[in-house]
Structure 1
Amino acid sequence: MSTTFVRAAARLLVVPVATSVFLAAPAPASHAVDRAVATTTLTAGSPTAARVQRKVTRVALGERAVAKARSRAGSPYRYGANGPRAFDCSGLTQWVYKKLGKRLPRTSGAQAGAVRRVGKPRRGDLVFFHSGGRVYHVGIYAGKRKVWHASRPGHPVAKERIWTRSVFYGRVR
């Protein structure tokens, strides 16, 4: 038999078998830790259990913030508006976190002072745009250098790429 024929026959046999093994394998565990599992599998009251609980809560809050911002996609921009039908930048972030039970001040500059600055952003963190020492815009970090925001008149709430390096990130407490 020729080598080409043997290789072709092997591919016909190996690929379906490998595919069926891959499809029959159990799915990997989710990256998000279930709050109930995290607290019951660890010793109640232990420092590790408390740390896991805080991390789960932060991750869940950030993901919910992104989902709330996404739910307002297409809402018109209006200066000074804080929802639910129209927004300006800080009105959107204030509205999103209010729906999640967190209070934020009204303006982007005041919001920058009310959050804890972080170096590595996670989804749901606030993105503050600054120039000359002044914060001029805020949005909700969507991951992969993208932000949900209400940018300016004529542009509805949308997810866009972060266009500058003059930003810092803050996490709502």
Structure 2
Amino acid sequence: MLNRFAPLVPLALVTLLFGCAAHTPVSEQAQQQQVQHSGSAQSSALYKQAFELEEAATEKELASFADGKSYQLPVLADSILERGMSLIGTRYRFGGTSEAGFDCSGFIGYLFREEAGMNLPRSTREMINVDAPLVSRSKLEPGDLLFFATNGRRGRVSHAGIYLGDNQFIHSSSRKSGGVRIDNLGDSYWSKTFIEAKRALAMAPAAAPIVTARK
């Protein structure tokens, strides 16, 4: 926040100088006439410099809001997760991609398409290979995709969900478990079957590239 207003500091200093000049005692008329021209020229130069700094700061600030699209990641994640929470209890349906029923990848694809304008691969095997940053488990953020090996084949993805925060994730689980629900990543089953996580929102049209480190 402080860095954002740093370019405006020179303008404040110039303004302060102007304010101080307004309260300078008036000297003799001859001296005043002598310095009037040079003072006016200096003031003009200072004003021009201050104006240019302010203009540059404004352009930079506007650019940061227009191009610094990483600011939108939390907004996109909130939209996706809010929509997902509203669908808790929706039944599991193999191959399902609508509110009539979802499988795990169909649920994720639906939310990302509807709320972030993203078309993710249809299957978990394709989804895990998207060109998105890998995220270590200790660095998870809401909206990150979680991948699991739940079919007994270690390392082979068969399930996916979306991280909510506080070690919770939302997913379309199975018919027996009630479809769309929330589970804890720290539970022994999910912890044992967890493979990796990816920040797919970094691929969103409104997102800037994000560098992550895997531990």
Q: TM-score normalised to the size of structure 2?
A: 0.56
Check whether the contact 1:64–1:124 (CA below 8 A) recurs between aligned residues: no
Does the C-alpha gap of structure 1 residues 51 and 143 become closer, same or farther in structure 2, counting only changes over 3 Å? farther
TM-aligned CA deviation for residue 50 of structure 1: 5.8
1:164 partnered with 2:191? yes
Q: Is the 8 A contact 1:97 1:103 kept in 2?
A: yes
Structure-2 residue corresponding to 1:138? 160
2:171 aligned with 1:116: no
**Offset from partner CA, 1:19-74 (integer Å, 9 cap, x none):** xxxxxxxxxxxxxxxxxxxxxxx643469826983221111111111112112111
Looking at structure 2, the residues matched to 103 and 43 of structure 1 have their Cα atoms a distance apart, in angstroms, of: 35
Residue 148 of structure 1 corresponds to: 170
Instruction: Report the counterpart of residue 44 of structure 1 in structure 2.
Output: 59
* 1:94 Cα offset (Å): 0.3
Letter in 2 for 1:61: L
Q: Percent identity?
A: 27
Rounded to whole Å, the distance in 1 between the matches of 2:110 and 2:63 is 33
The yes-or-no answer on 1:127 pairing with 2:146 is yes
Unaligned runs of 5+ in 1: 1-41
8 A Cα contact 1:43 1:49, kept in partner: no
Q: Say if 1:94 and 1:106, in contact at 8 Å, map to a contact too.
A: yes
SS in 2 for 1:142: strand
Question: CA–CA distance in 2 between the matches of 1:167 and 1:61?
Answer: 24
Q: Secondary structure at the match of 2:122?
A: coil
Confirm whether residue 93 of structure 1 aligns to residue 112 of structure 2: no
Give the superposition deviation at 1:133: 2.3
Gaps of 5+ in 2: 1-56, 204-215
User: Are the equivalent residues in 1 in contact too, given 2:155–2:195 (CA < 8 A)?
Assistant: no
Q: Tell me, in whole angstroms, the C-alpha distance in 2 between the residues paired with 1:107 and 1:132.
A: 18
Change (3 A) 1:80 1:55: same
RMSD: 2.3
Partner Cα separation in structure 2 for residue 51 and residue 141 of structure 1 = 27
Partners of 1:97 and 1:59 lie apart in 2 by 14
Mapping of 1:26-37 within 5 angstroms?
Answer: none
State the number of aligned residues: 132
Task: Please state if 1:59 is matched with 2:74.
Answer: yes
- 1:51-100: CA deviation from partner (whole Å, max 9, x where unpaired): 98322111111111111211211100011111122101000000000102
Structure (1 or 2) with the larger CA radius of gyration: 2
Asked if 2 retains the 8 angstrom alpha-carbon contact of 1:69 and 1:140, the reply is: no
Decide whether aligned partners of structure 1 residues 167 and 146 sit closer, same or farther in structure 2, where only a CA change above 3 A counts: farther
Q: Which 10-residue stretch deviates more, 59-68 or 44-53? A: 44-53
